[in-house]
Amino acid sequence: MKQLMVAADITKRIAFGPCVIYQIAGYNPNATGSGDDRYIQLHQAMEIAASDVPAIKSLYAPGNTAFDWQFPQGLYCSELMVGISTTEALYTAAGGGGGLDLNIIFESQCPWTSAHSLVGDYSTPVAGKTMWSEASGLSAPKRLMRVDVKNFNNGNNRRIVVFAHDAPSVDSVATQTRDCGSNGTDNRIFFGKGGLVPFAKSTDGTLRRGCQVRLLDISSIPYAFESNVNYYIRGVVETM
């Protein structure tokens, strides 16, 4: 498969799961005569911030010049976001319109497409996250392809729970549960090519098609929702 980037694309998500890259080829259109060189950086991440370190050595793309990087045996990445940088060792975003025209040839079971969106981030502390509301799930069916939960400040184990309700209670029917480790644990949960489509039916017959990720304290009975904002939560959502 192939993914394109143009000069306006300073970053681009390529795959939200494992992928193998075979070729990156294109042209650097920057030709002002000063500061035109660029570096193609491959980040095993869903987000890139200033000074992030790429997964491999940056690929050099000199100004006003064509380039063709080939990997006959394939270059493996656990996930992939490409950033166009003006520096080699760390990520320094190129200015607006200062990117490259390039093609990326790769294989993946998790290619990023226009149907995907990233909900949440790894910079805003939360105790739970709504991936989509019940109303949104009814009007445009969606599925959760992946969810990441990082516990950064809680010494106790919690349970990651996915509900189809906008306002679940601890007794609501969960569509998925996974253990979440203690402080420093970074959980990456994939739901396969079919994704996870939360669904529940309340006792009054109401159909629930939302998606909310919560942390459950199961250290004592009755169980309770985590109230401390000690987590980063984000998810890859696909609109069907």
Residue range 145-191, pLDDT digits in tens: 999 999 987 777 789 999 999 999 888 888 888 888 878 889 999 99
Going from the C-alpha of 97 to that of each of 28, 33, 79, 82, 180, the distances in angstroms are: 11, 16, 25, 15, 41
Going from the C-alpha of 196 to that of each of 74, 141, 162, 167, the distances in angstroms are: 30, 11, 10, 19
Residue 199's closest CA among 147, 142, 115?
142
Rounded Cα distance between 97 and 3, Å, is 18
Higher pLDDT pick, 85 / 175? 85
Residue range 90-101, pLDDT digits in tens: 999 999 999 999
Please tell me the predicted confidence (pLDDT) of residue 177. 87
For the segment 49-71, the average pLDDT, to the nearest whole number, is: 97
Cβ-based neighbours of 239, under 8 Å, separated by 6 or more: 115, 117, 140, 141, 142
How many other C-beta atoms can be found within 10 angstroms of the C-beta atom of residue 166?
16
User: Residue 218 pLDDT more than 90?
Assistant: no
Please tell me the predicted confidence (pLDDT) of residue 176. 84
Arithmetic mean of pLDDT over the chain: 94
Rounded Cα distance between 134 and 168, Å, is 11
Q: Retrieve residue 17's tokens.
A: 């799961």
User: Residue 108: enclosing H or E segment and its boundaries?
Assistant: strand 101-108
User: Residue 220 pLDDT more than 80?
Assistant: no
How large is the C-alpha radius of gyration of the chain?
Answer: 21
What size, in residues, is the chain? 240
Residue type present at position 117: S
Cβ-based neighbours of 70, under 8 Å, separated by 6 or more: 22, 23, 25
Residue type present at position 81: M
Please tell me the predicted confidence (pLDDT) of residue 82. 98
User: Residue 202 pLDDT more than 80?
Assistant: yes
Please tell me the predicted confidence (pLDDT) of residue 92. 98
Q: Tokens 């976001």 sit at which residue? A: 81
For the segment 28-44, the average pLDDT, to the nearest whole number, is: 95
Give this prediction's pTM: 0.92
Please tell me the predicted confidence (pLDDT) of residue 227. 87
Rounded Cα distance between 5 and 15, Å, is 14
Please tell me the predicted confidence (pLDDT) of residue 62. 96
Q: pLDDT tier at 121 (50, 70, 90 boundaries)?
A: very high
- Phi and psi at residue 39, to the nearest 5°: -130, 125
Going from the C-alpha of 172 to that of each of 66, 147, 212, the distances in angstroms are: 57, 20, 12
DSSP 3-state of 138: helix
Rounded Cα distance between 131 and 139, Å, is 15
